[in-house]
Amino acid sequence: MATNSIEPSIACLAVIVLFCEVARRVVLKITSKRYYEGLLMEIISTFQLCACTHELKLLGDYGIVDQQTGLTLTYVMTVVHLLTFRTATSNPSASLEQIYRRKLSIKSAILRIACQFLSAAVAKLVMHFTWSFGFSELHLRHSLTGLECVSALHTSSVYNGAAVEFCCAFAVQSAVIKIQQLMPKYRVCFIAAVVTFVVFAGGPLTGAVFNPALAFSIQFPCRGNTFLENAIVYGLGPMLGKMLLQQTLVSPKDFFEP
């Protein structure tokens, strides 16, 4: 197997998505209460998001893919996530926003956020455990070398980093609002394009995560910053960016409604 082969990682991504999609379909069949269905959807979809991002991050950390290929994979996986997540947001910021819009009670929102962070933590453990089997040369290299997680924050200050994450979340949320003017078949592609552009623009500065649960999975704890500094950048920054547009929140299911 060539060192720079990405086929095993693509296969890993496909297996993760397939497993999660089967799990979602099972949940829809066996769960009668929408409350529990929503929680399980958040757990499954957050796991999918974080696990896939771990695999993509591994490719980037070892320099297996160039920037163009990395952005292409980001676009494709964003499309896949949007098409499969259904009503799940996999983002604590969205749950907090739904409290303000009275779509969720405080208790329900807190429970959803807890599920998202728990699933994010499990995804990290599962991926590291999976890599230890060395199914690909890349996974084997990672298991043998134990590449240390290094902070993706490359700004002059923590507050500048928070501002970058704020702008990333603000840009994506603004795009979500604007897609209502587009035909349904173009909405997912448009959002994926915006997310990819945001990753391109903000990635070198903070990693452009703009999701506290995802950041908790891939950035906590990484050498270079304290827990509080990461919380300010990857928690407070994107939450403020999303909440700024709270009065015009659009549910993920609206991507597919005319």
Domain ranges of the chain: 7-145, 158-256
Residue 157: predicted pLDDT: 92
Residue 252: predicted pLDDT: 46
Task: Tell whether omega for the bond before 92 is within 30 degrees of 0, i.e. cis.
Answer: no
Residue 204 has pLDDT above 90, yes or no: yes
Residue 2: predicted pLDDT: 41
Residue 149: predicted pLDDT: 80
Give per-residue pLDDT as tens, 165-201: 999 999 998 888 888 777 767 889 999 999 999 999 9
Tell me the angle at which helices 106-131 and 137-145 cross, rounded to the nearest 10 degrees: 90
Residue 232 is classified by DSSP as I
Residue 142: predicted pLDDT: 85
Residue 246 has pLDDT above 90, yes or no: no
Residue 4: predicted pLDDT: 57
Residue 254: predicted pLDDT: 45
Tell me the angle at which helices 7-30 and 137-145 cross, rounded to the nearest 10 degrees: 90
Give per-residue pLDDT as tens, 16-51: 999 999 999 999 998 877 778 889 999 999 999 999
Region of 249 (left: φ > 0; alpha: ψ -120 to 50; beta: rest) is: beta
Burial of 18 (0-12, 13-18, 19+ CB in 10 A): exposed
Residue 159 has pLDDT above 80, yes or no: yes
Give per-residue pLDDT as tens, 55-65: 999 999 888 89
Residue 8: predicted pLDDT: 92
